[in-house]
């Protein structure tokens, strides 16, 4: 059974058709990267997976449970889907440790001692065990993003969604975040990542999906996608991106 | 000398009045806080009916002078055979009024909370009540402290209005002293004024210290 199944999602905001029949699947342990021009519904697609945005039509299944079914306990389901946001979205009045353990404590109702141990374990994993007593505003962007990854990990999710996790970071901080993500992918976590980081996609993704105008134009393994894209539009887009970033593989640099 | 003895003899009475004033003021604020918070939550998270009722309440109690409200709840209700004591009538009228003002303070604070954080904890699986309890309220209450200390001072001072419906608070005690000693109006009222000044100043200072203590880097 596939871990994630997305079937024919459609979503429009007013007169703008953002998603126009998108379907895809994910096996456990796979990493899929979604690329495409801005405003083509990439973030919306991610948000439809954990129902932060309700699709107009179409269905989503996580591990056999239908997410889009109104009878499903969506909060229970969301606790097994992690999400990392472009703007980190850490709770600003809580210290780092509290940010990471609030999910296990309040949503999963794990007792404080276990939740704290869990949080410390995840913070160590992302390399921030020395920042547990700091407030989010005292950290750099890259550190904040790593904390938000630890926050997602602390829920021990089946799947983590990344919505342009490095787009709001200064260039020199992107590497540390991508390194954590690569480590997650390699240790068997299932990831769906929306990003412009082609280098990351090339070295970590099992499949790359090119989304344009609310539709999947092309999807293939990274070697195929980046060396022989089928469509001209894909080629044009990739050209633009590599021109912007002008590098081979940022993930490999770290 | 005469004035000093008036002061010494009158002080216990004034302080007794002050106790009542403080009870009123704190009561208004407390009632206003609980009700104001509920009204703000109703206005933000409620359905159309709830929102309408809350907005209506706020509009009414912000748009009518305190004195008129006091008279309605005390004399007006008595006319309808609902006999509330002056103290209780004050508590209700001014408490509701404070709720209307505090609701606006809370609402402004809650709406300025970055929604990204609320979405993030929603993605963790928190339901609406949990989101309000763990993110919205702690942050908006922090934003509230500064405008709220305004409200605090206002309520303590407005408690003196209850003089008009016969509550024996500090103003009325002052009046008693003046009539009993055949004069000293200026002296007594200035003393009352200084007492108020002292209370509000100490209160504002304490609130400021609390605000500083709750401050979090980056807030």
Cβ-defined contact of A76 to B119 (cutoff 8 Å): no
Partner residue facing A106 (CB), from B134, B139, B218: B134
Look at residue B95 in the predicted model and tell me its pLDDT: 95
Cβ-defined contact of A148 to B120 (cutoff 8 Å): yes
One domain for residues A70 and A182 = yes
Q: Where a domain ends, among A156, A185, A204?
A: A156
One domain for residues A67 and A167 = yes
Chain B residues inside the 8 Å CB shell of A103: 121, 124-125
One domain for residues A148 and A181 = no
Q: Where a domain ends, among A156, A179, A199?
A: A156
SS3 for A211-251 is EECCEEEEEECHHHHHHCCCCHHHHHHHHHHHHHHCCCCHH
What are the CA-CA distances from residue A187 to residues A26, A78, A149, A183, A197 (Å)?
Answer: 16, 22, 15, 6, 20
Residue A247 sits in a domain whose CATH number is 3.40.50.300
One domain for residues A107 and A143 = yes
Partner residue facing B126 (CB), from A77, A106, A151: A106
Residues 6+ apart with CB under 8 A from A155: A79, A80, A82, A103, A104, A107, A108, B124, B125
All domains of chain B in start order, with CATH: 2-214 (1.10.3720.10)
Look at residue A165 in the predicted model and tell me its pLDDT: 95
Partner residue facing A92 (CB), from B117, B126, B134: B117
- Report yes or no: A78 at the B interface, CB cutoff 8 Å: yes
Angle between helices B86-111 and B137-158 (to 10 degrees): 150
**From A86, which residue of chain B is nearest by alpha-carbon distance?**
B116
One domain for residues A123 and A171 = no
**From A84, which residue of chain B is nearest by alpha-carbon distance?**
B120
Chain B residues inside the 8 Å CB shell of A92: 114, 117, 139, 216, 218-219
One domain for residues A19 and A46 = yes
Look at residue B114 in the predicted model and tell me its pLDDT: 65
Those residues of chain B whose CB sits closer than 8 Å to some CB in chain A are 114, 116-117, 119-127, 130, 134-135, 138-139, 142, 216-219
Best interface-test mutation with A: which of B120, B138, B217 has the largest number of A CBs within 10 A? B120
One domain for residues A185 and A237 = yes
One domain for residues A76 and A97 = no
Look at residue B216 in the predicted model and tell me its pLDDT: 76
One domain for residues A230 and A197 = yes
> Residue B88 belongs to what H/E stretch?
helix B86-111
Low-confidence ranges of chain A (pLDDT < 50): 248-254
Look at residue A228 in the predicted model and tell me its pLDDT: 84
Q: Which of A168, A95, A164, A101 has the alpha carbon at shortest distance from A136?
A: A95
One domain for residues A169 and A235 = yes
Residue A97 sits in a domain whose CATH number is 1.20.1580.10
Q: What is the distance in angstroms between the Cα of A94 and the nearest Cα belonging to chain B?
A: 8
Cβ-defined contact of B124 to A148 (cutoff 8 Å): no
One domain for residues A68 and A169 = yes
Contact B102, B148 (CB under 8 A): yes
SS3 for B136-201 is HHHHHHHHHHHHHHHHHHHHHHHHHHHHHHCCCCHHHHHHHHHHHCCCCHHHHHHHHHHHHHHHHH
- Print the domain residue range for A102: 91-156
Q: What is the mean pLDDT of each run of 10 residues along chain B (219 residues)?
A: 78 90 91 93 92 95 94 91 90 95 88 83 94 89 81 90 89 87 84 92 90 76
- For chain A, the first-to-last Cα distance in angstroms comes to 35
- CA separation for the pair A49, A53 (Å, rounded): 8
Decide if A85 is inside a domain. no
One domain for residues A22 and A73 = yes
Q: How many domains does chain A have?
A: 2
Chain B residues inside the 8 Å CB shell of A108: 125
- CA separation for the pair A48, A55 (Å, rounded): 6
Decide if A86 is inside a domain. no
Best interface-test mutation with B: which of A89, A110, A152 has the largest number of B CBs within 10 A? A89
Sign of CA dihedral A195, A122, A206, A216: negative
Q: Where a domain ends, among A101, A136, A156?
A: A156
Enter the tokens of residue A246: 């002008």
């Amino acid at each position: 059974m596939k871990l994630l199944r997305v079937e024919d999602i459609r979503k429009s905001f007013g007169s703008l058709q953002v998603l126009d029949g998108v379907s895809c699947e994910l096996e456990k342990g796979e990493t899929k990267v979604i690329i495409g021009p801005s405003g083509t519904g990439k973030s919306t697609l991610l948000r439809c997976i954990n129902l932060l945005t309700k699709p107009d039509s179409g269905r989503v299944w996580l591990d056999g449970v239908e997410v889009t079914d109104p009878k499903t306990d969506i909060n229970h389901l969301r606790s097994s889907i992690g999400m990392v946001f472009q703007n980190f979205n850490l709770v600003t009045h809580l210290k780092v440790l509290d940010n990471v353990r609030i999910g296990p404590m309040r949503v999963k109702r794990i007792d404080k001692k276990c939740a704290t141990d869990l949080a410390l374990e995840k913070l160590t994993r992302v390399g921030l065990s020395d920042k547990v007593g700091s407030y989010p505003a005292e950290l750099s962007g890259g550190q904040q993003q790593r904390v938000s990854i630890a926050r997602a990990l602390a829920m021990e999710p089946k799947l983590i969604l990344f919505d342009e996790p490095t787009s709001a970071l200064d260039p020199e901080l992107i590497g540390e975040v991508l390194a954590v993500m690569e480590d997650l992918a390699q240790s068997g976590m299932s990831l769906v990542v929306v990003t412009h980081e082609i280098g990351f996609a090339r070295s970590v993704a099992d499949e790359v999906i090119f989304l344009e105008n609310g539709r999947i134009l092309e999807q293939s393994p990274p070697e195929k996608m980046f060396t022989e894209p089928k469509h001209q539009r894909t080629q044009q887009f990739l050209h633009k991106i590599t021109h912007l970033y002008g590098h081979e593989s940022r993930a490999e640099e770290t | 000398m005469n004035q000093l003895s008036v002061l010494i003899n009158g002080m216990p009475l004034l302080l007794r009045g002050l106790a009542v004033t403080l009870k009123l003021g704190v009561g208004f604020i407390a009632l206003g806080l609980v009700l104001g918070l509920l009204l703000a939550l109703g206005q933000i998270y409620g359905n159309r009916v709830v929102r309408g009722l809350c907005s209506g309440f706020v509009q009414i109690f912000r748009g009518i002078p305190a004195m008129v409200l006091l008279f309605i709840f005390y004399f007006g209700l008595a006319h309808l055979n609902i006999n509330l004591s002056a103290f209780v009538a004050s508590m209700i009228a001014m408490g509701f009024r404070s709720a209307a003002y505090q609701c606006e303070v809370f609402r402004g604070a809650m709406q300025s909370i970055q929604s990204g954080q609320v979405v993030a904890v929603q993605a963790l699986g928190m339901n609406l009540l949990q989101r309000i309890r763990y993110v919205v309220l702690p942050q908006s209450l922090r934003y509230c402290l500064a405008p709220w200390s305004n409200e605090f001072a206002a309520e303590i001072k407005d408690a003196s209005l209850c003089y008009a419906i016969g509550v024996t608070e500090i103003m009325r005690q002052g009046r008693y002293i003046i009539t009993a000693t055949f004069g000293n109006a200026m002296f007594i009222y200035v003393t009352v004024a200084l007492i108020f000044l002292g209370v509000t100043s100490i209160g504002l200072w304490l609130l400021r210290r609390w605000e500083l203590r709750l401050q979090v880097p980056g807030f």
